[in-house]
Structure 1
Amino acid sequence: MTTAEPLVEVVGLAKKYRTRTVVRDVTLRLMPGEIVGLVGANGGGKTTTLRILAGLLRPDLGSGAVLGDDIRASATARRARIGYMPQRLSLYPELTVAENLRFRADAHGLPDARGQVEAAALRWGLAPVLTTRFERLSGGWGRRVQFAATLLHAPPLLLLDEPTAGLDVVTRTDIWRWLVELATRGHGIVIATHDLAEAERCPTILHYRDGVVEGPITPKVLIDKSGARTLEAAVAALATAAPQ
């Protein structure tokens, strides 16, 4: 039996834009099957962290590896094994859902692109909108399609930035059910979310406050530290507390 290798193992990551340090001291070890939530106020560094892990930004400080590749080296190879879903929808507005998914399948070099699209439509419930141009979708359908496109090549590592933002309760429930299923199958998931009720579902979180990162810790530890009853109340209380 072989021991699983970490999908992410980084220490002390930091990123600065000009004179402003956006995030500092990000330390994370993510194993296959784990879900980690990134929580905190807007501008705290959650998206920057995801972009560093995705290989879209290079850290100024820190070390480690993502999918076995040095975090500070070129990320061309590892990007093909990462499913990165940005907060802003990024599919082609003038193409239909099916055309977008087929384009994504071709870009990843997947065999039988047509079959891949049909399988994705069945798996993620996209049949009602397959022939609809992406720009004509509602926000909820658009985010569901973006989620499906992100998962099309079955990446071992998922980096999701607000995947349930603006969604109705049914679709949010569907996506979280899918995330748990994906983790059960061995995918590693890092998810940034403003929905702190949802973030309480994550076994482990990183808490961002003024660019400083606390964790990994459990939601319960952060709740107990603040004296609050929920993660949402804990993050709000800590955001307004005087620095120690």
Structure 2
Amino acid sequence: MNMAEPLIAVVGLGKRYGGRRVLQGVTLSLARGEIVGLVGANGGGKTTTLRMLAGLIRADDGRGTVLGRDIRKGGSAGIGYMPQRLSLYPELTVHENLRFRAEIHDVTGPRVDEMVERLGIGPMLDTRFERLSGGWARRVQFAATMLPAPALLLLDEPTAGLDIVTRNDLWRWLADLAAAGHGIVISTHDLTEAERCPRILHYADGVAEPPTTPADLIARSGAATLEAAVAVLAR
């Protein structure tokens, strides 16, 4: 794709299940180096949005491209999708999981070692994934997602259950990735974290509002914080 072309350029995406509309109105343009947050109540459509962008489910409405490809045709090359539910093999060690993921994506050279060092997971390499604490498991899952150096990262609640130190580490890594030209879309229930995103999409009753800034959403609601704003708008 053209380096100047948006990583994501979609208009009016929507999804229906069994004839029932569960999501509508997802419109987003994301350039390299940008971070966009998805906020709103549970069941509002954030995960569905990420799965459509990742090419895991097909949009029923709307149009657009992801990494230059028609979103209706799907395709996951160049996309790193990290679901909220951890997806590595529990019976394998951390090192075995990372090596296996590298083989799947034809990743060669020192990339695994680079991710191990960057995310500080060396002490856990010989530990089976199922025996990791929540914080370590998410670090390893993030390392596996980053192995092929995807241009676009789609992260579903990546900090859920993490301690404050690991959450801050993750946001520092995201800032570094954005500075290096990766595009990031992150769904989060932690609205203090969401305020770090320059732009957000707010979801209410299955409708994605146009992209805005945390400050503008706060001002529109008359609240003092983003968390209070989302609560006010939900009512």
Tell me how far 1:20 sits from its aligned partner.
2.5
Distance 1:74 1:163 in 2: 23
Tell me how far 1:19 sits from its aligned partner.
3.3
TM-score where L is the length of structure 1: 0.94
Tell me how far 1:80 sits from its aligned partner.
2.5
User: 3-state DSSP class of the match of 2:65?
Assistant: strand
Aligned residues: 234
- Structure 1's unaligned 5+ residue stretches are none
Q: 1:220 to 1:74 in 2, by over 3 A?
A: closer
Runs of 4+ off more than 4 Å: none
Distance 1:117 1:184 in 2: 21
Indicate the percent of aligned positions where both proteins have the same amino acid: 70
Deviations 1:191-219 (A, max 9, x none): 00000000000000000000011120001
Q: 1:92 to 1:34 in 2, by over 3 A?
A: same
Q: Is the CA contact 2:107–2:147 (under 8 Å) kept in the aligned structure 1?
A: no
What residue is the counterpart of 1:96 in the other structure?
93
What residue is the counterpart of 1:219 in the other structure?
214
Residue number among 106, 110, 119 corresponding to 1:109 in the alignment: 106
Deviations 1:34-62 (A, max 9, x none): 00000000000000000000000000010
Tell me how far 1:227 sits from its aligned partner.
0.4
What residue is the counterpart of 2:119 in the other structure?
124
Name the amino acid aligned to 1:177: R
- Structure 2's unaligned 5+ residue stretches are none
RMSD: 1.0
Name the amino acid aligned to 2:5: E
Residue number among 186, 199, 205 corresponding to 1:204 in the alignment: 199
Tell me how far 1:128 sits from its aligned partner.
1.1
TM-score where L is the length of structure 2: 0.98
Q: 1:27-106 alignment to 2 at 5 Å?
A: 27-75=27-75, 79-106=76-103
User: 3-state DSSP class of the match of 1:95?
Assistant: coil
